[in-house]
Amino acid sequence: MKFKQIRDTYFIRLERGEKIIETLKDFCAKNRIKCGYFFGIGALGEAELAHYIVENKKYTSKALKQPLEIINMSGNITAMNKEIYLHCHITLSDEEMKAIAGHLKEGVISATCEVILVKLGAAIERKYDDFIGLNLLNL
């Protein structure tokens, strides 16, 4: 990973073989980023996407191992139990230009991934909500 900082904005380039979520979480921890948002484009060779079903409070997930373009990736950075918490969604395109989208559990870079990450001031915490079954923003 390489990056350049301009004020509270980071231009990040992930390298082939790096994992998006793992790398961004480590980056946020090292740079003391507890609140912010990010978006990006690039290419993956592997991805695990998830979809949440409210009725049974469970995620379904699907592992993909194929060439995929990142059409759009967006997420936010918060904290939970004093640890960095990333929430990321992604839209991908396969070789037939068909869209595949969902909650990004993890993705492995095949070529590159360009991320713009903006650090915001105070930390926002998450709290588990029994009714919904998710870690929601504690506002």
Could you give the domains of the chain? 2-137 (3.30.1330.80)
Q: What pLDDT is attached to residue 15? A: 98
Q: What pLDDT is attached to residue 120? A: 97
122 has a pLDDT exceeding 90: no
State the residue for tokens 């509270």. 8
Residue 128 neighbours by CB distance under 10 Å: 12
Give CA torsion, residues 72, 78, 80, 86, to 10 deg.
20
Q: What mean pLDDT do residues 92-103 have? A: 98
Q: Give the whole-number percent of the chain exceeding pLDDT 70.
A: 100
Tens digits of residue pLDDT in 35-80: 999 999 999 999 999 999 999 999 999 999 999 999 999 999 999 9
pTM equals 0.95
Tens digits of residue pLDDT in 85-97: 999 999 999 999 9
Q: What pLDDT is attached to residue 89? A: 98
Q: Which helix (H) or strand (E) holds 128?
A: strand 126-129
- What is residue 121's DSSP assignment? S
Q: What pLDDT is attached to residue 123? A: 87
Tens digits of residue pLDDT in 18-27: 999 999 999 9
And the tokens for 48? 């695990």
Q: What pLDDT is attached to residue 121? A: 87
Q: What is the mean pLDDT of the chain?
A: 97
d(CA 24, CA 14): 9
